[in-house]
Structure 1
Amino acid sequence: MKVIYFHRNTKAGYSINKVTQTIVREIEDKEEYYMPSAGSGLKDLIKNIRFIRSHRQKGAIHHITGDVHYGILGLIGYKSVLTIHDTVGLDFIQMSRLKSLIYKMLWFRIPMMLATKVLCISEVTKSYLMKYSSRKDIRVIHDAIDSSLQFSQLKQINSPVKILFVGVKDNKNLIRCFEALKGIDCIVTIIGKPSPKQIRALSENGINYTSKSNLSDKELNAEYYNCDIVSFCSLFEGFGMPALEAHQAGRPVLCSTIPVLKEVAGEAACYADPYDVASIRSAYLRLVNDETYRQQLVEKGKENVLNFFPSFIKKQWEDVYHEL
């Protein structure tokens, strides 16, 4: 059973490829291809669809692993699996009416109609997808945690507390988090390049910070080990891998109360209302000051992450392939 994987161009983003490779590298009979174009213009779409057509094979299973959903147009008549990670572009980012319509049709409605199997990575994402498709067979298969990230015992927190933020897009809610940290003795590490507005918020709230970009997996793992608390108080997510990575690394994590993070992190996170700065601040202070609570979260995280081990998720992928 050969599986041909089609991935988006790495210049279009790193996160989807990272979580996908956790499983793909364990699949034996496979071929992998990355889209030649990272853009989303008409010429880019045509180029990528033609690329997929030129690499499809009769009898093989073709799996589009995320983002380039429109690539299904190059697989009509062939066995296909489409993984959809989120609907951020439709449900969070503001677009013109025309652009939103085109995006909805080419990235969601048409691909979900044509794909042999449609997968998504959380029950919350599935609920959003149901707005754009009448399919009843959309299947939820969670992302898998990278097993290269190992548990590291958290030592006592000393001042300044080291807080890790992963991601800088608007849905990550960094500015409210920075406002909540005003007056708390901390050093913030941000994975990604903060915007001028975010940098201004850091300065206005007197927060010492460093930002790091283009990290290898090993370097990103080191940031988890080096921090005391992982902050992931997002407004919108398709899944929530940083919460699991905090669990795997043995670090307490602050999450927002959005449903998908409760689905992923369960009882192993300290929750805050992402729209309420006072709520976020209260959560930070509890994590900083209550050592017993921190350790309870870490222990619950060790248990929770077992549900996302690669071997468990790989079997679910293979079950889908065997159905084709």
Structure 2
Amino acid sequence: MQVNFGMQEVNNQRIGIGIFARHLITELVQYPDLTCSGHAFLTWHTRPQSFSRFPFPTKISLIPARWMYSPHRSLLPVSMRRICRSSSDIYLYFNYKLPRARLDGKVISTIHDLIPLKTEMENQSVKADYLAYIRDAISRSDDILTVSECSKRDILTYFPISEERIHVIPNGVDFARFHTPFHPERLKEVRKKYHLPEKFILYFGSSRKHKNVTSVLKSYAKVQKAVRDSVKLVITNGSEPLRQLAGQLGIESDVRFTDAVDDRDKAAFYQLASIKLFVSLYEGFGIPVLEAMAAGTPVIASNVSALPEISGDAAWLVDPLDTDGIAFAVESVLADDALRQDMIQKGFLNAKAWSWRRAGEKLHACIMHLND
């Protein structure tokens, strides 16, 4: 069976879509009953040289077409078979943006979450584009993938689509990568590179509004000063408004803001942290929860959206807007070593259960069923 992957996001290692695409492509190309190829359109944000970083074992068609992903453009009277110069049984897209060309085969697209609709934190033009993309994907796809039961429920609530067309293919975690202990010298090197304190609570992620980093700062400000004196807060990718908020809360001397973290340093970051805070207002999945658990870092996460589903019994779940409750959870995990060890061991077991191999098997079964 000929499967052609849309690889637009495959090199974006900082977001879940890119991680999802890279790992599932790596799994699927190992199946002997699939003949895999890929395509990507060279837009304003995509350059040919970027694809040389991904060791894809077969042909990628790189097509100059900056207009191919305009959500309000009419479909063009040209087929993907002609564009890619080869035919495919199935076109598989790892996000919800389909090219404005005729897809002359069966189509699978992916809706990871409904953040712009569920959080109401995007402006109206962004929301309009998002809705146009999603409606187009649902109308032109034979099947839709999503990453959690929570996201599946949300899609069914917001859009007229039958449940049978939606397949949950969960994210996974590279357990060995995050779990394998680093040599002390390597940890020392990462600590020095990012000016990390000896003990710290970690927020690792973007500063988009739904990530709720303001609650991270406000909660930390409510932690007892004696605790803040010995355990600092580290925030990656901190924006200027977040830095200003730290100053307004009087905790600027206890908070470290880092620049973007090299993906090669991520696992060491987690292993150095005392706690991972992930109190988003909404997540379709939450890969950082599993990464931290695999690294042996206790996780305090939100009790909303997909996070309880992903965390199992291994995280301390909190109301993401209850800053007193978050502060209490932080103090409790830092003070109670037995609790910490229990969370760490449960975290290992939970992270192991979410493998990319299992996700690949589910996606392969979905592809074969669609082709029947």
> For this structure pair, what is the TM-score category when the shorter chain's length is used for normalisation?
0.7 to 0.9
CA apart distance, 1:233: 0.8
The structure-2 alpha-carbon separation of the partners of 1:284 and 1:119, relative to structure 1 and needing over 3 Å to count, comes to same
Coordinate RMSD, CA, aligned: 2.8
Q: Given the alignment of the two structures, is residue 161 of structure 1 paired with residue 211 of structure 2, yes or no?
A: no
Q: 1:55 to 1:281 in 2, by over 3 A?
A: same
Separation in 2 of the partners of 1:229 and 1:98? Answer: 37
> How far apart in 2 are the matches of 1:302 and 1:12?
26
Q: Write out the 4+ residue segments of structure 1 that deviate beyond 4 Å after TM superposition.
A: 9-13, 46-52, 95-99
Deviation of 1:72 after TM superposition, in Å, equals 5.6
User: Which residue of 2 is the match for residue 63 of structure 1?
Assistant: 92
Residues 172-211 of structure 1 show CA distances to partners (whole Å, capped at 9, x for unaligned) of 111111111123422223232x122111122334123131
Higher mean Cα deviation, 106-115 or 238-247?
Answer: 106-115
Secondary structure at 1:33 match in 2: strand
State the partner residue of 1:17: 18
Structure 1 residue 99: deviation in Å? 5.4
Are the structure 2 counterparts of residues 265 and 52 from structure 1 closer, same or farther at C-alpha, using a change threshold of 3 Å? farther
Q: Which of 225, 240, 264 in structure 1 is aligned with 2:286?
A: 240
Deviation at 1:214, TM superposition (A): 5.0
Instruction: Check whether the contact 1:72–1:111 (CA below 8 A) recurs between aligned residues.
Output: no
User: Do 2:68 and 2:99's aligned partners in 1 also have CA atoms closer than 8 Å?
Assistant: no
State yes or no: 1:222 paired with 2:268. Answer: yes
Counterpart in 1 of 2:114?
Answer: 87
User: How far apart are 1:9 and its partner, in Å?
Assistant: 4.7
Please state how far the C-alpha of 1:77 moved relative to its aligned partner: 3.6
Amino acid at match of 2:93: I
Matches within 5 A, 1:30-45: 30-37=36-43, 43=67, 45=69
Larger-gyration structure (1/2) = 2
Shift of 1:34: 3.4
Q: Does 1:258 align with 2:287?
A: no
Match of 1:189 among 226, 230, 234: 234
Identity of aligned residues (%): 20
Contact 1:19-1:145 within 8 A present in 2 as well: no
3-state SS in 2 of match to 1:271: strand
Query: Which residue in 2 is equivalent to 1:2?
Result: 2
1:170 aligns with: 209
- The verdict on how the C-alpha distance between 1:32 and 1:163 changes in structure 2, with shifts beyond 3 A counting, is farther
Q: Distance in 2 between matches of 1:111 and 1:19?
A: 18
Aligned mates of 2:126, 2:178 — CA distance in 1: 43
Cα shift readout 1:28-71 (whole Å, capped 9, x = no counterpart): 242233342267xx9462499879832374333211111xx231
Structure 2 equivalent of residue 27 of structure 1: 28
For residues 253 and 35 of structure 1, do their structure 2 counterparts lie closer, same or farther at Cα, with a shift above 3 Å needed?
farther
Query: Does the alignment pair 1:103 with 2:130?
Result: yes
Change over 3 Å in CA distance of 1:35–1:125 after alignment to 2: farther
Is the aligned partner of 1:209 residue 2:256? yes
**Does the Cα contact within 8 Å between 1:79 and 1:116 map onto a contact in 2?**
yes
**Cα offset for 1:305?**
1.7
Q: Distance in 2 between matches of 1:205 and 1:8?
A: 43
Counterpart residue type for residue 87 of structure 2? K
Q: Which amino acid in the other structure matches residue 23 of structure 1? A: L
DSSP-derived class of the 2:317 partner: strand
Q: Does 1:126 align with 2:152?
A: yes
Unmatched 5+ residue regions in structure 2?
30-34, 46-65, 183-196
Count how many residue pairs are aligned between Structure 1 and Structure 2.
313
- Give the Cα–Cα distance (whole angstroms) in 2 for the partners of residues 56 and 257 of structure 1: 48
8 Å CA contact 1:113–1:133 kept in 2: the answer is: no
1:164 maps to a residue whose letter is L
Secondary structure, aligned partner of 1:181: helix
